[in-house]
Amino acid sequence: MQILFTATPPADVRLHARIVNQGAQLTGLDQALVEGAAAARFAGRTGQVFEGFASVGGTLRRIAIAGAGEASSAERKLELERAGAALTAKYLVSGESAMVLDLSGAGLSADDAAAVLLGLRLRAWRHDAYRTRLAADKRPSLATVHVIGEPDGTEAAWARELALAKGVEFTRKLVTEPANIIYPASFVAACEEAFAGTGVEITVLGEAEMTALGMGALVGVGQGSECESKLLAIRWNGGAAGEKPTVFVGKGVTFDTGGISLKPPPGMEDMKWDMGGAGAVAGAMLALAGRKAKANVIGVMGLVENMPDGKAQRPGDIVTTMSGQTVEVLNTDAEGRLVLCDALHWVQEQYDAARIVDLATLTGAMIISLGNEYGGMFANDDALAGQLSAAGLASGDKLWRMPLGPNYDKLIDSPVADIKNVGPREAGSITAAQFLQRFIKPGTPWAHLDIAGMVWASKPGHSWDKGATGYGVRLLDQFVRDVVEG
């Protein structure tokens, strides 16, 4: 969707929309529309949309009014975003190709206006590339939004949010593509194309380099696949010279069959999004580079495909990680932690990180715990945990802190190696986090985000359709804005 700013709306655009606060009087509208809105019980609640038709200057107009909730709401920006998204949801396949959006009269700041536009843009994303028989009335038609009456500074604020939107959209595309399109090498290629000209530094390690470094855990996960595993690092140096970088690490299992510990067939197709953590890191890095963030940030992604062929690792195998610790692999479907442990150690060897945050669709147990409302957060540092929680609330990518502790850690002691890759059935998400913590060096602030329930949605949300949500991109971008850029 293209968003344009104009002083005078094009005369040939039939659809005109405005944003109104809850309880505000409707002014400047045809009386029939005002009475119609009242009859329809339109009150300006967040996401409410009322539509009517009126003759304006002898031309029939389609008039839409979207509710933005209470002007004093603590979640004002998110509610404004939902107002914009509600307009897109209603008119994306309406047959209208353009909309005029009047932002005057709602008492918006430039950041408020940009929030409305962000909602409009994010809700418009769809991936219809493979739908060759989509009916004409189901195809997106709304392509352009002409903005009028915007407050001063809106264009600059929107430029920043547009970079964020592109990052979210990139993540959604990576997560949505099937595993025959996105596998480790093509994930790398997609990033190299997306980041061309942005000024980032890209480092790619193949299996030979990772084997030489001793990454037995990461390489072991992918040894049953025809697709070569990769480690991808994207570095953005936008902060002060010499300032320690913030590092984001993402699990990138581009397809997860479970390996020899094969998953049951129903639902296995969903495992194309088991690279959602890596997808979120890639999208966040694109957003930061796109808006020229004043921060030093590195995104690292461990990319593998977990397949069950004759070369695949077996339950009971013991692998040696880059850190030197040995792991008894009891379940080859607990592979994400094997990918992350080597990636986390490599990061700490390679960079003097100010803090490390990893993101992973790590455990089904997290979905049992938190459903699809919060990502789970585990952290060894209270300040970092608080900063991430605040960023989650501000961005809408919410987090809920979960516990770590020595009693949980004992559950992954192995009788034949240093660690086993799964504990008992209970506390599955916690023991997975405890596994990762064993690879974090003392004194390094670290947080693990288990986002298994958040990267894919079975029904539309406020700013996404069914499918990939782009969860994590906005969280990381907001964290950088609040903490790193300050």
- Letter for the amino acid at 192? E
- Indicate if 337 belongs to the active site: yes
- Letter for the amino acid at 14? R
The answer to whether the beta carbons of residues 99 and 17 sit under 8 Å apart is: yes
The helix (run of H) or strand (run of E) holding residue 448 is: strand 446-450
407 phi, psi to nearest 5 deg: -65, -35
| Side-chain half-sphere exposure of 241, counting CA atoms within 13 A | 0
Q: Describe the chain by its helix, strand, coil percentages, rounded to 5.
A: 35, 20, 40
Set 337, 398, 420, 474: catalytic member: 337
The answer to whether the beta carbons of residues 162 and 121 sit under 8 Å apart is: yes
List alpha helices for 248-371, DSSP H. 276-290, 336-350, 364-370
Of 169, 176, 170, nearest to 272 by C-alpha is 176
- Indicate if 441 belongs to the active site: no
Burial class (CB in 10 A: 0-12, 13-18, 19+), 148: middle
Of 50, 4, 12, 8, nearest to 29 by C-alpha is 50
Of 106, 118, 113, 101, nearest to 152 by C-alpha is 113
Residues 6+ apart with CB under 8 A from 372: 453, 454, 457
Set 45, 62, 90, 263: catalytic member: 263
List alpha helices for 25-68, DSSP H. 31-39
Residues acting as catalytic residues? 263, 337
